[in-house]
Chains A and B, each alone.
Chain A
Amino acid sequence: MIPGLPTLTGASSAWLLLALKALAAMGFMTAANLVILYAS
């Protein structure tokens, strides 16, 4: 817990985790697409 920041409830932390996973998936997709584009 960081002082000054609001405490995450269980539901909002689950949504935050899902958003982080989606962000990671999109980041991987972009990087992999660039690899395919320049390798082919």
Chain B
Amino acid sequence: MPPEKRGGFAYWLDPVFLISLAAYIINRALIKPHLYYYSPLFHGHLDDTLTVPVALPIYLFVYRWIGFRPDDEPPRWWEIALHLAVWLVFFKWFGPVILHQGAYDPVDDWCIAGGGLVAWALWQWGRLTRLHQPGNKAA
């Protein structure tokens, strides 16, 4: 599997990753410690929604570094779907049931999946808009 330079995904310099990471840090360091009541959004759903845009670029960078990922294309739909499947099983079954760490909430599944869908659309934005330009026969 020869490495290719194709694609322009910047991994830890990707703007979607950086903005999502900033939102996660702000929530963890500034918002959560100052809440005096349980907020489902800030204590749970926001972190779940940011799972894909924050974690996936780091995972993909490591795969690229060890030579398992052949190029630098933005995350593909199946890469996101594969990691979503693993994370849902790991964080929502293996963690709570086997390791007794974390809790299962069905809404979390939708938050993780929704965050992944939005992140995928943002990562593929350039390609999606190019495909729908008038006169583009590749569409």
Contacts and interface: CB of A to CB of B under 8 A. Distances in A.
B68 A24 contact: yes
B87 A33 contact: yes
Given A18-B1, A37-B90, A40-B102, A29 B68 contact: no
Contact of B55 (A14, A32, A38): A32
A16 interface: no
A25 to B, nearest CB: 5
Contacts of A24: 66, 68
A36 B91 CA distance: 9
B95 interface: yes
Q: Is the contact region of chain A dominated by helix, strand, or loop, or is it mixed?
A: helix
Nearest to B54: A36
A36 B67 contact: no
B79 to A, nearest CB: 12
Interface stretch (B56-64, B119-127, B128-136): B56-64
Contact of B66 (A21, A36, A37, A38): A21
A25 B59 CA distance: 9
Nearest to A32: B59
B47 interface: yes
B99 interface: yes
Interface of B: 1, 47, 55, 58-59, 62-63, 66-68, 86-87, 90-91, 95, 99, 101-102
